[in-house]
Chains A and B, each alone.
Chain A
Amino acid sequence: MRNPQLNAHGALTHLLTLEGLPPDVIRSILDTADPFVSIAEREVKKVPLLRGKAVFNLFFENSTRTRTTFEIAAKRLSADVINLNIGASSTSKGETLLDTVDNLVAMDADIFVVRHSQSGAPHLIAEHLSAHGRNHIHVVNAGDGRHAHPTQGLLDLYTIRHYKKTFHDLTVAIVGDVLHSRVARSLIHGLTTLGTPEVRVIGPRTLLPAQVGALGVRVFHDMRDGLRGCDAVVMLRLQNERMKGALLPSPGEFFKHYGLTPEKLALAKPDAIVMHPGPMNRGVEIDSAVADGERSVILPQVTFGIAVRMAVMSMIASN
């Protein structure tokens, strides 16, 4: 069966997940993002690639940051951007997901950027469009359930490549709530596809998926062991609702064992970079001294995220 993300010529037409995406497609997205980074330095921060195209941000789940970066990316490509906060409108009136999509297609949408709490929702939309012969309309997954967040994975890959140049001799650790993290899943698939020799996940048993080893990662429950010799440390956000559940004793206890402090970071390589997808919980998963420290690349990640999203949208729109 053909990968639903690729067209008959093997070119990217939707971005739904990094799982199963060929390495040369991932590399070409990262390469395309590179010249987009410098557009922010121009007097006119726009290029005319998507002039006349309509990008619909379909956010069935809240996310200010991701929605904003997609919006900026689309606007820098000269597209028209329509933001729909669906949670507060159609679905509450009982409209189904695909009916909502069909209505927006009738409004001449070219790209759907979809965030949904249900895993697989963007995939369902892509299949629906394809089943109705609408191959000129493209879908970008902006995060679905616990499944995938491919543009976050790509911007993490871009950040690592920017600072470390290559993946072939790297050790990368992903720390914290891997169980609920679509960011972690996308990054793990991306790192292994690009040939990273050692990807580690570090966290308590209650916050690591049971079969996580099957993704090709090394599992550590002791953070100090897991950080030794790392080139990049990716901290995950501990979601507030998890702290209220039975998975964790308390935020203070979590910080003691899995919070990134300067003392723990000293175990990684001296030039290791620290990443976080945001929003951060200071004093829960990361110490302020690390978040604001000289090895933190958390804010460059945000900047690179815009360029990566520009690359994805400009590539799919032409395929």
Chain B
Amino acid sequence: MTSRDDHLPDAEATLVALAERMRGAVAFDAAFVGIYSGGAWLAERLPALVPGEHQVGFIDVSFYRDDYSTTGLKGGSRRTSLPFDVNGATIVLVDDVLFTGRSVRAAVNELFDFGRPARIELAVLIDRGGRELPIEPTYCGARLTVARDLSIVLSRDGERLALGVERSDG
């Protein structure tokens, strides 16, 4: 069950803050690659907020996750779609919540199976700490501290994004 929490920032305002940090810092022709599903919604929105010519791609990391042998394939894997040449590209991986860093690790591995990017950066809406890998965001909308057994979840109603909290199972 998702509940709204007074301590959570407004998702739309945080997206604007993230775009503000990317403006001027990100390469003019950087491609935005969203990690399904929350990151994909953000990657679709960012080109309108960050000046430049930004192509948009989507990545599903289910086949690259390190917890496959214990949790298996969850249903609803989607096709990774990168409609540009990854070789030599500047890519900004986009995700909604950065926690352990394992999804980002999987996404970086997957990108390299498409080619050799010139540079990969990382943009996240929320950095909630709790990293288990040496991964840090290049651009971050907001930083929060949340108990480990809670998940921060991005949801979308029409175009409007919202943040909520869920108790993790197990």
Contacts and interface: CB of A to CB of B under 8 A. Distances in A.
B114 A43 contact: yes
A48 B113 CA distance: 11
Contacts of B79: 34-35, 37-38
B2 interface: no
Contacts of B75: 28, 31-32
B170 to A, nearest CB: 14
A37 B63 CA distance: 13
Contact of A42 (B72, B78, B109, B113): B113
A49 interface: yes
Contacts of B28: none
B113 A49 contact: no
A35 B60 contact: yes
Contact of A315 (B63, B72, B110, B112): B72
Given A43-B113, A47-B113, A49-B73, 5 more contacts: A28-B75, A34-B77, A35-B78, A42-B114, A315-B72
A146 interface: no
A34 B64 CA distance: 16
A314 interface: yes
Interface of B: 60, 62-64, 68-69, 71-73, 75-81, 86, 109-110, 112-115
A41 B7 CA distance: 44
Nearest to B60: A35
A44 B113 contact: yes
Given A44-B113, A46-B113, A318 B78 contact: no
Interface residues of A, number: 19
A319 B77 CA distance: 17
Contacts of B68: 49, 318
Contacts of A28: 75
Contacts of B81: 38
28 contacts: A28-B75, A31-B75, A31-B77, A32-B75, A32-B77, A34-B77, A35-B60, A35-B63, A35-B77, A35-B78, A35-B79, A38-B79, A38-B80, A42-B113, A42-B114, A43-B86, A43-B113, A44-B112, A44-B113, A46-B113, A47-B63, A48-B63, A48-B109, A314-B73, A315-B73, A318-B68, A318-B72, A318-B73
A37 B60 CA distance: 14
A251 to B, nearest CB: 43
Interface string A226-260: 00000000000000000000000000000000000
A318 B64 contact: no
Nearest to A44: B113
Contacts, number: 51
A48 B64 contact: yes
A141 B31 CA distance: 44
A12 B79 CA distance: 22
B80 A49 contact: no
Contacts of B112: 44
A35 B113 contact: no
A315 B73 CA distance: 6
Contacts of A34: 77, 79
Nearest to A310: B63
Contacts of A48: 63-64, 109
A43 B80 CA distance: 13
Nearest to A52: B69
A47 B80 CA distance: 12
Contacts of A49: 63, 68, 73
A11 B110 CA distance: 27
Most buried by B among A31, A46, A49: A49
Contacts of A37: 79
Nearest to A78: B63
A46 B110 CA distance: 10
Interface in A28-60: 28, 31-32, 34-35, 37-38, 42-44, 46-49
Nearest to B65: A49
Interface string A278-319: 000000000000000000000000000000000000110011
A69 B77 CA distance: 22
A250 to B, nearest CB: 48
A42 to B, nearest CB: 6
A298 B38 CA distance: 38
B88 to A, nearest CB: 13
Contacts of B78: 35
Q: State the 3 A-B residue pairs at the shortest beta-carbon distance, nearest first.
A: A318-B72, A47-B63, A44-B113
